[in-house]
């Protein structure tokens, strides 16, 4: 059997994390290597390699996790906006081969982001 990826281990509670939000199929946690204060990941609990593997039926729950997590970040980090970034496949910067997106809370003057991995 292939070794579980880090996000599968987190989803199965084999690694400790600070959950920001969770629903039946997704959870959000702070990024281990943040590019901005509050940089957060929204991750599927089940293993899907990328956006193309994610079932359409999970779209509503995925959006719910993005919205709820973003509201937490707006309140806690005093963000004025946010970016949602998804890297799909290695050539596009995907490092962990498990579906996830980045939420980046933004404030005026926090600089330009060239690339998020």
Tell me, what's the pLDDT at 1? 40
Give domain status of residue 25, yes or no: yes
Contacts of 38 (CB under 8 A, 6+ apart): 30, 73, 76, 77, 79, 104, 105
- CATH number of the domain within which 32 lies: 3.30.428.10
Give domain status of residue 82, yes or no: yes
pLDDT surpasses 60 at 11: yes
Active-site annotation, residues = 100
CA distance 28 to 74: 14
pLDDT band at residue 2 using 50, 70 and 90 as cut-offs: low
Q: Give per-residue pLDDT as tens, 12-40.
A: 999 999 999 999 999 999 999 999 999 99
Which structural domain range is residue 11 located in?
Answer: 6-106
Q: Give me the mean pLDDT over the 84-106 stretch.
A: 97
The total domain count for the chain is: 1
pTM score, whole prediction: 0.93
């Amino acid at each position: 059997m292939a070794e579980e990826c880090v996000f599968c281990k987190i989803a199965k509670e084999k690694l400790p994390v600070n959950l920001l939000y969770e629903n039946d199929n997704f959870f959000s946690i702070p990024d281990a290597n943040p590019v901005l204060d509050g940089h957060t990941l929204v991750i599927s609990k089940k293993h899907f390699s990328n956006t193309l593997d994610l079932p359409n039926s999970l779209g509503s729950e995925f959006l719910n996790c993005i919205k709820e997590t973003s509201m937490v970040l707006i309140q806690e980090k005093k963000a004025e906006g946010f970016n949602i970034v998804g890297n799909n496949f290695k050539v596009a910067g995907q490092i962990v081969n498990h579906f996830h997106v980045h939420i980046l809370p933004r404030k005026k003057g926090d600089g330009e982001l060239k690339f998020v991995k």
